[in-house]
Amino acid sequence: MHLVFLIIIKHMSTRSRRAGIAALIILIIYFLIEGSGLFANTYNIVAANLKPGAQVTPEAAAIVRNMYRENISRVLLLAIALFPIIFISIKYHIKFQIKDGSIFKKVIPFIRVIAGAVLFHIILNSGTQFLHELFTNYYSLGYWPSYLRIVAAFAVFGGSIIDLKAAMDWVKKFPQTHPKLYKVIFVIGISVCSCCILELQVASKMNMMTHMIFFSVLYWILLQVFFYVLTNNLKIGAFVSLGLSYLIGLINDVVYQFRGNYVMYGDLTVVRTALEVAGNYTYKPKFWFFVCLALLAMGVLITIFIKLPRGNKPTGKGIAIRAAIEAALIAAVIITFKTGILYNNVFGVGWDYNKNIIYTGYLPYFLSNMNSIQTVNVDGYDPALADDALENVNYEEETDTNFYPNIIIIQNEAFSDLSVAYDIETNQDYMPFVRSLTENTRKGYLNMSITGGPTANTEFEILLRSTLCYLPYGSVPYTQYVNSDLPSIVQVLRGQSDPYYTVAYHPYYSSGYRRPEVYDHFGFDEVVFEDHFQSDFPESDLIRDYLSDSADYKRVEELYEQFRSHSDAPWFCFNVTIQNHGGYTQDYDPEEEDRVYVTNFEATDSINSYLSLVKVSDDAFRELIEYFEQCDEPTIIAMYGDHQPAFDEEATNLLGEHAVAAPGGDGNYYVPYVIWANFDIEEENTLGDADPPSVMNTLSTNYFASVVFETAGIELTDYDRYLLSLHEDIPAITALGVWDSNGNHYPSPGESPYADELSDLEMIQYNLIFDDEHRLTDRFE
């Protein structure tokens, strides 16, 4: 390989065209020598798996296509880096025939070349295996140090044969001799810098699939071209590109620390809600924050001090041409966005997008997610089929339907049992009262579609008896899809023979997740928020600047008493608490009897604070139960956590070291639930006490309200009876998949043996949420 350099350099003209041809020949020889076996193997795999008639699953075909694209992309990426090194080395190489001077001076060029060749060999083979490190991982670029080592090896060898003075003179003259190419190089350089600034602040760390690197860089090129055409100034686009990339990366880094997820398109609809609670979090800059800050500073300084060739003054004709180019650019972006070409048709609604981003890059995944959640469609949808499924339900109700107890459903913010997912031992039980409840109590673990947030998605599943399984991942239905009156559980209760008076209570600002509008569409008689809780409640009722669960429940009791003072109608309250909201790094000093801490490893303050908060919630729930135990009216109280907590990065990493395999899957998607009554109900306990043992995957959020209604003994709708019948065979349906009564898990409804039954559910849910014209309202209310 090294001799090839010498032979070509000795016989090739220094003209640019021939130097370019020589550079290409060297690259081709290098890739053939180092990668021919891999390329041939890849071609054979592609040919065997993608030929007509081949029995290949879609997943396997996608992997094979990725292998093919990755190898091409990696060759291209290496060529882009190596070509200018080889080109300049050949065109401006040192002279090997020196007629004058000492022998030492004459042999110096040869010594340089030999030394460069030796170093080339050492660097290239020092831990670098072209095939195994750079080209075998078809999901990402491979091993970055391998890529950089190859580039460094060629740079060292090029430096050994180059005439530095001649090369520098060429570099200095380059902006004047090739002004257009100089601008192109500047735009690409700033775009690569912008891509790195963003991606190094998220999970990809620039290690996404190689062909996705080109897409990730392309967006910043398009942005700069847009501003250049608009302003005739390259530097404006460069500043926008650098600043925006840093801002997007920083926002994602902050949000990931706070809730453990990156920002998707649906999150943009809840920005105001996020800002309202942002003051309760503490951001801790990490290593990559400073790396990206340095890259930003470097990019800004280069943009400030670099001298770019001036463009021509705009004329009328020039302005018209620019306008046409701008319109064409915008149209091309819109078309390629809608068709998926702009982001390589990556699957932007995968469940764990934190991992998907590693392979796709942040922006391609975000754009795909943005496109995918705009509309929801069901193949073969027919309202008549949905009606038939609801009509042909064979379900026997187990209770009389002439009983109308008060019903309170509590969605307790981040109330969960960490022992489901982690090996945790504590100085005292953090939920002793909930665990002690046995009489007239049903309790267990509830399957969730989310972890860490957003809260409103669990509300949606409960109040509409629906599942996120059939909605694009990353969507927030409250802010995107609830724009008209929908048949919620509120309408079910208001439609009873003895109609319920319905109340929604949230002890925080009313602006979060469009709740006032959503609750109005759901049909609540009364909606109560605490927009001035910090002034309306004494400081003793606040915990970490949130209203405590104890104060929350006392307010629920007051609302009940106020209503009961002038009406004897059955009463329903849907209460969303706030005490345990994220931001556990915020100072919290509980009373000594409520202090909970981990004893089997040294936990962070945030973990101990969270466990102490759960203990305080448990005490508050005891107070509420004691109040309604003394109530003469039949009352049923159902309480569950909305999701598991989102810890800071340090706590998340520490807990990950003590993770345990949950009995039914990912432990981060289970929360406790309790259904208690002050009258006789069937008792059940699968919450994880020593006797009986914990049981998972027996109930998910879409069924929860129907189970509460059946337990309460009220009149059930066709939809409730349908859900309860479906629950017998398929006890849990979430965005993570479905579980059958034998505990088998299927990642998606279509992959399960119950595909037909679940197809009916998908149509019914589509009719409930989206089909305003043909909605089967009588079936749902």
Does the pLDDT of residue 722 top 60, yes or no? yes
Helices (H), 200-270: 210-231, 234-259
Query: Strands across the sheet with 635-641, in order?
Result: 526-529, 501-506, 571-576, 406-412, 635-641, 670-677, 441-447, 684-685
Whole-angstrom distance, CA of residue 15 vs CA of residue 11 = 12
**Span of 346-355, 401-410, 457-466 with lowest mean pLDDT:** 346-355
pLDDT digits (tens, 9 = 90+) for 308-318: 877 667 677 77
* Cα–Cα distance measured from residue 363 to residue 369, given in angstroms and rounded to the nearest whole number: 10
Average pLDDT, whole number, for the chain?
Answer: 83
Q: Look at residue 35 in the predicted model and tell me its pLDDT.
A: 67
Instruction: Measure the CA–CA gap between 618 and 601, rounded to whole angstroms.
Output: 24
With a pLDDT cut of 70, the percent of the chain lying above it is 84
- At residue 438, what is the residue type? T
State the distance between the two ends of the chain, measured CA to CA, in whole angstroms: 78
Q: Which residue has the higher pLDDT, 166 or 679?
A: 679
Number of H helices, E strands in the chain: 28, 13
Position 362 pLDDT exceeds 50: yes
Q: Rounded to whole angstroms, how far apart are CA atoms 593 and 399?
A: 42
Secondary structure of residue 412 in the 3-state scheme: strand
Lowest mean pLDDT among 93-102, 428-437, 489-498, 669-678: 93-102
Instruction: Identify the CA nearest to 720 among candidates 507, 487, 430.
Output: 487
Average pLDDT over residues 584-606: 88
Torsion of the alpha carbons at 62, 210, 185 and 93, rounded to the nearest 10: -120
Instruction: State residue 356's pLDDT score.
Output: 76
pLDDT at 4: 47
Give residue 400's pLDDT.
58
**pLDDT for 553:** 97
639 vs 637: CA distance, rounded Å: 7
10 Å Cβ neighbour count for 553? Answer: 24
Going by C-alpha positions, the residue among 64, 83, 80, 208 that lies closest to residue 141 is 208
Looking at residue 52, what is its pLDDT? 61
Name, in order, each residue with C-beta under 8 angstroms of 355's C-beta and a sequence gap of 6 or more.
203
Q: What are phi and psi of 765, to 5 degrees?
A: -65, -40
Residue in 582, 527, 575 with CA at minimum distance from that of residue 416 = 582
CA 258 and chain centroid, separation: 13
Amino acid identity for residue 339 in this structure: T
Please, which residues bridge with residue 734 across strands?
Answer: 737
Task: Identify the pLDDT of residue 301.
Answer: 94
Q: What is the pLDDT of residues 17-59, one digit of tens each?
A: 777 788 888 888 877 777 666 666 666 666 665 566 555 555 5
**pLDDT value, residue 706:** 95
At 330-354, the pLDDT tens digits run 888 888 888 888 888 776 544 456 7
Q: What token pair was written down for 608?
A: 């101990």
- pLDDT exceeds 60 at position 606: yes
Band of pLDDT at residue 131, cut at 50, 70 and 90: very low
| 112-126, 537-551, 579-593 — most confident range | 537-551
**Position 7 pLDDT exceeds 50:** no
> Which residue type is seen at 173?
K
Place of tokens 């915990």: 543
Amino acid letter for position 190: I
Q: Pinpoint the alpha helices (H) of 92-199.
A: 103-125, 144-161, 164-177, 179-199
Q: Quick one: average pLDDT of 655-675?
A: 86
Higher per-residue confidence, 747 vs 528:
528
Mean pLDDT of 470-486: 84
Instruction: Give the mean model confidence (pLDDT) for residues 726-745.
Output: 91
Q: How is residue 440 written in tokens? A: 């007239």
Distance CA 26, CA 30 (A): 6
* Residue 514 structure tokens: 């469009």
The DSSP secondary-structure symbol of 466 reads: -
Of 541, 559, 566, 510, which is closest to residue 408 (Cα–Cα)? Answer: 559
The confidence score (pLDDT) of residue 69 equals 74
Residues in CB range of 328: below 8 A, 6 or more apart: none
Q: In this predicted structure, what is the pLDDT of residue 405?
A: 96
What pTM was computed for the model? 0.69
State the pLDDT at residue 170.
75
What is the pLDDT at residue 11? 44
Res. 207 pLDDT band, cuts 50 70 90: confident
Q: Give the tokens for residue 521.
A: 């569409």
CA atoms of 731 and 378, how far apart (whole Å)? 23
Pairwise pLDDT comparison (360 vs 662), residue with the higher score: 360
Q: What are residue 227's phi and psi, to 5 degrees?
A: -70, -30
Structure tokens of 25?
């020949």
Angle between helical axes of 16-50 and 2-11 (0-180°, round to 10): 140
Asked whether the predicted pLDDT for residue 366 surpasses 90, the reply is no
pLDDT at 3: 44
Q: How confident is the model at residue 248 (pLDDT cuts 50, 70, 90)?
A: very high
Helices of type H across 675-717: 701-712
What phi and psi, each to the nearest 5 degrees, are found at residue 454?
-85, 145
Q: How far apart are CA 715 and CA 730, in angstroms?
A: 23
Q: How far is CA 432 from the centre of its chain?
A: 34
Mean pLDDT of 230-240: 90
H-helix or E-strand spanning residue 325:
helix 316-339
Task: Calculate helix-pair angle for 549-564, 605-629, nearest 10 degrees.
Answer: 20
pLDDT computed for residue 176 by the predictor = 78
Rounded Cα–Cα distance for residues 704 and 287 (Å):
44
What 3-state DSSP class applies to 685?
strand
What are phi and psi for residue 145, nearest 5 degrees? -55, -30
CB contact set of 708 (below 8 Å; sequence gap of 6+):
407, 409, 636, 638, 675
DSSP per residue, 495-543: TSSSPPEEEEEESS-TTGGGHHHHHHHHT-SEEEE-TTHHHHS-GGGEE
The answer, yes or no, to whether residue 64 has pLDDT greater than 70, is no
